C-alpha cells in the first residue's frame, strides 16, 4: 500500500468477506488446493519423491491422481535431493515419459537449484500458475535450522509469496524418530505455515501405503489407503469393496483355511479373482477393517492370518 493510499484509508471502505466472489479451486480434488502451500512428510525412503513424481505426471497430463480428478497445469520440480540416475530409474519403473508440461531443475545442472526466494520463480508463478514441487524442505533451508521458528517462518513466507502469485506449492519434508516428530520434523511453525499437510506411511515399497491428512484449511478431507501396482497407484476404499462382497469373502475364507499364507500363495488360492483385486482386499482386510492379521518374515515378507 502506497503512502497516498494509507493517507486516504478508511475502515468504512473495507470489504466484508461475505461479499467476496471467491471459491476454493483444486489442482487435485480434495487433495491439493490450488494456490496453496502443501507439505508432504514421511520417513526417509517411504516413497515421498515417487509419489510426487506420479503427482507431477498426473497434473501435467490432466489425469486422475489417486482416484481424484486433476486440473492440468505446468509443473516445475526443483530437486536438491535426487540425482539424474535416480530419476532415470524412476522414469523407467514408473513409466513417466518426457512431457512438455514438466520442467526439472536438479543437481545435474551447472547452476544449483535455488530455493523459494529465487526471484524468477515469482514471474513464472504469475505467468503460468504452475504446480511447483520442492524436494526437500531441509535441502533448501540450508544452514538455517528447521528448529528455529523465526528462520522457518521467514523461509515459508517465501513459499507463501509464490502461492499468492498463483503457484500451487508442494514441499517434501521428513519425519523424525521422537514421538513429537512423527508427523514432521522441526519447528511447529512449519505446520502453522501450510494450508494442507499429508503424512505418508508405507511398507514394502508402497505395497501398503497411507496418506493421512494432518492439516486442512479447506474443510475435511479423507485419508487415502493405496498401493503401487505395476506403475499405477491403486486406491483401497471400503466403499468399493464391502465386507459382504463375494470376492472379499472368498479371500477371507482362503486365508482362514490356509493361515500363514503370503500374498502370492493367496492369489493362487483364488484364481478366479484378479491379482490386483486380491491385493486390494488383503490391504483392506489388514489395514482398514482389521479382519486380517499380518506377521513379518524374512526379507520383510507378509504372512496373513484371519481373525476369528
Residue 31 in domain = yes
What's the pLDDT at 179?
81
Residue 239 in domain = no
pTM (whole model) above 0.85: no
At 143, the pLDDT band (50, 70, 90 cuts) reads low
Nearest to 251 by CA among 220, 277, 233, 216: 277
Q: What percent of the chain has pLDDT over 70?
A: 94
Q: What percent of the chain has pLDDT over 90?
A: 53
Q: Do 263 and 129 lie in a common domain?
A: no
Residue 10 in domain = no
Residue 134 in domain = yes
Average pLDDT estimate for 280-304: 80
Domain CATH code at residue 277: 1.10.10.10
Domain ends where: 229, 260, 283? 229
Q: Do 57 and 181 lie in a common domain?
A: yes
What's the pLDDT at 300?
60
Domain ends where: 174, 204, 229? 229
What's the pLDDT at 238?
66
Residue 111 has pLDDT above 90, yes or no: yes
What's the pLDDT at 296?
77
| Mean residue pLDDT across the chain | 88
C-alpha distance from residue 149 to each of 39, 51, 129, 191, 243 (Å): 17, 28, 29, 11, 47
What's the pLDDT at 299?
61
At 186, the pLDDT band (50, 70, 90 cuts) reads confident
Residue 207 has pLDDT above 70, yes or no: yes
Q: Do 212 and 274 lie in a common domain?
A: no
Cα(228)–Cα(208) distance, integer angstroms: 8
Q: Do 147 and 259 lie in a common domain?
A: no
What's the pLDDT at 228?
86
Residue 119 in domain = yes
Domain ends where: 171, 196, 229? 229
Residue 240 in domain = no
What's the pLDDT at 4?
61
Cis peptide before 153 (omega within 30 of 0): no
Question: What is the spatial order of strands in the sheet that 261-262 belongs to?
Answer: 261-262, 302-306, 292-296
Residue 53 in domain = yes
Buried (b) or exposed (e) across 124-146, using 16+ Cβ within 10 A?
A: bbeebbbbbbbbbbbbbbeeeeb
What's the pLDDT at 38?
96
Q: Do 252 and 222 lie in a common domain?
A: no
Q: Do 192 and 279 lie in a common domain?
A: no
What's the pLDDT at 73?
94
Cα(147)–Cα(286) distance, integer angstroms: 36
Range of the domain at 282: 246-306
Element (H, E) at 131: strand 131-135
Domain CATH code at residue 63: 3.40.50.300
Q: Do 57 and 136 lie in a common domain?
A: yes
Residue 239 has pLDDT above 80, yes or no: no
Q: Do 48 and 130 lie in a common domain?
A: yes
Q: Do 55 and 160 lie in a common domain?
A: yes
Residue 17 has pLDDT above 80, yes or no: no
Residue 43 in domain = yes
C-alpha cell at 268: 493362487
Q: Do 160 and 210 lie in a common domain?
A: yes
Residue 1 has pLDDT above 60, yes or no: no
At 279, the pLDDT band (50, 70, 90 cuts) reads confident
Nearest to 118 by CA among 74, 173, 164, 161: 161
Compute CA 274 distance to the chain's CA centroid, rounded to the nearest angstrom: 27
What's the pLDDT at 304?
92
Average pLDDT estimate for 239-243: 77
- Higher pLDDT residue, 23 or 14? 14
What's the pLDDT at 166?
94
User: How many domains, in total, are found in the chain?
Assistant: 2
Q: What value, to the nearest 5°, has the Cα angle with vertex 50 and ends 106 and 67?
A: 130
Q: Do 174 and 258 lie in a common domain?
A: no
Q: Do 261 and 130 lie in a common domain?
A: no
How many CB atoms lie under 10 A from the CB of residue 200? 22
Per-residue pLDDT tens over the stretch 47-57: 899 999 999 99
Residue 193 has pLDDT above 60, yes or no: yes
Amino acid at each position: 500500500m502506497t503512502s497516498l493510499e494509507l493517507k486516504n484509508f478508511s475502515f468504512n471502505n473495507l470489504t466484508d468477506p461475505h461479499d467476496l466472489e471467491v471459491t476454493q479451486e483444486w489442482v487435485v480434488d480434495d487433495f491439493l488446493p490450488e494456490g496453496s502451500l502443501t507439505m508432504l512428510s514421511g520417513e526417509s525412503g517411504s516413497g515421498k519423491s515417487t509419489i510426487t513424481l506420479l503427482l507431477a505426471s498426473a497434473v501435467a497430463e490432466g489425469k486422475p491422481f489417486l482416484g481424484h480428478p486433476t486440473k492440468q497445469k505446468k509443473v516445475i520440480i526443483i530437486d536438491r535431493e535426487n540425482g539424474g540416475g535416480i530419476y532415470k530409474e524412476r522414469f523407467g519403473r514408473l513409466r513417466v515419459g518426457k512431457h512438455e508440461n514438466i520442467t526439472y531443475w536438479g543437481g545435474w545442472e551447472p547452476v544449483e537449484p535455488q530455493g523459494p526466494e529465487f526471484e524468477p520463480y515469482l514471474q513464472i508463478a504469475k505467468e503460468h500458475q504452475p504446480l511447483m514441487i520442492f524436494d526437500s524442505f531441509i535441502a533448501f533451508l540450508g544452514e538455517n535450522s528447521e528448529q528455529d521458528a523465526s528462520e522457518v517462518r521467514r523461509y515459508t513466507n517465501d513459499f507463501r509469496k509464490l502461492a499468492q502469485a498463483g503457484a500451487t506449492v508442494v514441499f517434501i519434508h521428513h519425519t523424525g524418530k521422537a514421538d513429537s516428530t512423527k508427523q514432521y520434523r522441526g519447528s511447529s511453525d512449519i505446520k502453522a505455515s501450510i494450508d494442507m499437510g499429508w503424512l505418508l506411511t508405507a511398507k514394502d515399497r508402497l505395497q501398503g501405503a497411507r496418506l493421512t491428512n494432518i492439516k486442512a484449511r479447506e474443510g475435511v478431507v479423507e485419508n487415502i489407503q493405496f498401493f503401487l501396482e505395476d506403475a499405477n497407484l491403486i486406491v483401497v476404499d471400503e466403499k468399493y469393496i464391502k465386507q459382504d462382497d463375494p470376492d472379499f469373502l472368498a479371500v477371507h475364507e482362503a486365508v482362514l483355511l490356509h493361515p500363514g499364507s503370503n500374498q502370492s500363495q493367496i492369489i493362487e488360492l483364488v484364481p478366479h479373482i484378479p491379482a490386483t483385486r486380491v491385493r486390494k482386499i488383503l490391504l483392506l482386510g489388514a489395514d482398514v477393517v482389521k479382519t486380517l492379521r499380518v506377521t513379518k518374515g524374512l526379507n520383510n515378507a507378509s504372512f496373513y492370518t484371519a481373525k476369528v
